[in-house]
């Protein structure tokens, strides 16, 4: 604990008491203020951050307990100690029970005992402030955590909505692909058939139906595989005209995939020629 940071207010209407307290505490490194009345003490409290208040009980106009009750209301963090005689113990005890006073000392006090108790009181002040700071930090962190959770929940909701839209778009794309009136075949870079639509399923090539997972070479001539490779290498559409299949002659268009699927496959679209 660094006592140099602590400020102590001494309040007593007797100048000799104030002088004795100042002399007792001047080597302790505290910042000391003196007031000869409760009103003067309140003014000092308005203008300074005071950590500990020590005052006499018997003062004109405002007693020590009345003064410290006001201090508690306006400056609840300040530790409050009162000096009193034997005859005022009952009223002091009542004030302690109400929480207005941290501790009282009987006059005449023991110098070493008073200095030790003042040090303990200021340690108590530091502990309370540290706990308060920790509590505020926990509240702040909880608020930040709540904001992070709220943001995360919002992100999840947005991502879920985005995925729902993507799924709907994917389903729509599949429906459109299925309903196209001409055959569509999707082929990977390895030459494997990955996607076919309804019209492609109805094709019969060499007596066999086209199936997903089989190689393009099983259904089309080597020329078709060469066109597909050329399409991937140049990333430009290619065409085979008047290609003969069992149902007639077709123009086969080879279209490369684009975007993030660029270089990963080719779409074959077959347009049947009129006889």
Lowest mean pLDDT among 71-80, 164-173, 231-240: 164-173
Boundaries of domain holding 19? 3-128
Q: How many domains does the chain have?
A: 2
Residue with tokens 């019969």: 204
- The whole-number pLDDT of residue 122 equals 93
Q: Are residues 116 and 198 in the same domain?
A: no
- The whole-number pLDDT of residue 1 equals 41
Residue 150 lies in a domain: no
Residue 162 lies in a domain: no
CB-based contact 59:38 (threshold 8 Å):
yes
CATH number of the domain that residue 76 is part of: 3.40.50.2300
CA count, 13 A, side-chain hemisphere, 265: 13
Q: Are residues 123 and 224 in the same domain?
A: no
Handedness of CA 154, 159, 162, 164 (dihedral sign): negative
Q: Are residues 24 and 121 in the same domain?
A: yes
Residue 143 lies in a domain: no
Asked if residue 248 has pLDDT above 90, the reply is: no
Q: What tens digit of pLDDT does each residue of 48-105 get?
A: 999 999 999 888 889 888 999 999 999 999 999 998 876 667 777 777 777 678 888 8
Q: Are residues 108 and 221 in the same domain?
A: no
């Amino acid at each position: 604990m660094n006592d140099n940071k602590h400020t102590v207010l001494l309040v007593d209407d007797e100048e000799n008491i104030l002088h004795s307290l100042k002399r007792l505490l001047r080597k302790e490194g505290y910042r000391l203020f003196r007031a000869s009345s409760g009103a003067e003490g309140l003014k000092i409290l308005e203008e300074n951050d005071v950590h500990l208040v020590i005052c006499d009980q018997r003062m004109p106009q405002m007693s020590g307990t009345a003064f410290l009750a006001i201090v508690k209301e306006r400056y609840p963090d300040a530790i409050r100690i009162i000096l009193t005689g034997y005859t005022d113990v009952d009223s002091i005890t009542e004030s302690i029970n109400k929480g207005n006073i941290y501790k009282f000392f009987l006059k005449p006090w023991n110098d070493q005992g008073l200095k030790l108790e003042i040090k303990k009181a200021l340690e108590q002040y530091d502990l309370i402030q540290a706990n308060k700071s920790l509590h505020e930090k926990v509240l702040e962190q909880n608020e930040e955590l709540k904001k992070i959770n709220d943001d995360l929940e919002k992100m999840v909701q947005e991502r879920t909505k985005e995925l729902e839209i993507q799924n709907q778009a994917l389903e729509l794309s599949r429906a459109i692909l299925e309903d196209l009136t001409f055959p569509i075949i999707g082929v990977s870079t390895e030459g494997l058939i990955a996607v076919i639509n309804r019209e492609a399923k109805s094709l019969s090539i060499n007596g066999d139906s086209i199936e997903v997972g089989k190689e393009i070479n099983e259904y089309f001539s080597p020329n078709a595989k060469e066109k597909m490779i050329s399409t991937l290498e140049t990333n430009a559409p290619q065409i085979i005209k008047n290609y003969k299949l069992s149902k007639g002659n077709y123009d086969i268009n080879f279209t490369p995939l684009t975007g993030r699927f660029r270089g990963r496959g080719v779409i074959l679209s077959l347009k049947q020629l009129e006889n």
